[in-house]
Amino acid sequence: MLRYLNQCSRGRGAWLLLALTALALELTALWFQHVMGLKPCVMCIYERNALFGVMGAGIVGALAPKSPLRLVALLMWLYSAWEGLRLSWEHTMIQLHPNPFTTCDFAARFPTWLPLDKWLPAVFVASGDCAERSWTFMTLSMPQWMIVVFGAYLLVGLLVLIAQPFKAKRRDLFSR
């Protein structure tokens, strides 16, 4: 299995699949926001940024899957998945254990050199309450589902990282 994961990480297909799954989740989040009318909170916006990090890692990996840039993409993938998992866990704890002293910010804080909320307000402006459970599926709220998603991204990313030293066996027709 590790040889197979190493082989997959050296091709464009797996990296494009990573980027496309993150894009699908981003589009789903925008559908929830703009079609269903669910207001994203600050934690939702930060989790959305982590998904953009996973998508960016997939794009970087697809650009040069056989170069050392693949390892940069893998590190981006792992960092984004870890941060997304951490943020989703924190968001879930805010929802499950509401406390007037533990709340999220009123607005997302972006660096001055990257004001995403000013550049794309339809995507990065928060207007919801972090403690509100406005949507559930199979009894799990959205941040709980994001724990599952980011956990899966992190697990697969770690397996791909572990698989990097395992080269595919060369299979010649006439060798033993």
Catalytic residues: 41, 44, 48, 104, 130
Which is nearest to 49 in space by CA: 111, 129, 135?
111
Supply the DSSP string of 92-140, one letter for each residue: HHHHHS-BTTB---SS----TT--HHHH-HHHH---S-TT----EETTE
Rounded CA-CA distance 98/38 in Å is 20
- Distance in angstroms (rounded) separating the CA atoms of residues 45 and 99: 21
The structure tokens listed for 115 are 């004001």
Report the distance separating Cα 157 and Cα 75, nearest Å: 9
CB of 146 closer than 8 Å to CB of 137: no
How far is Cα 173 from Cα 176, in angstroms, rounded to an integer? 8
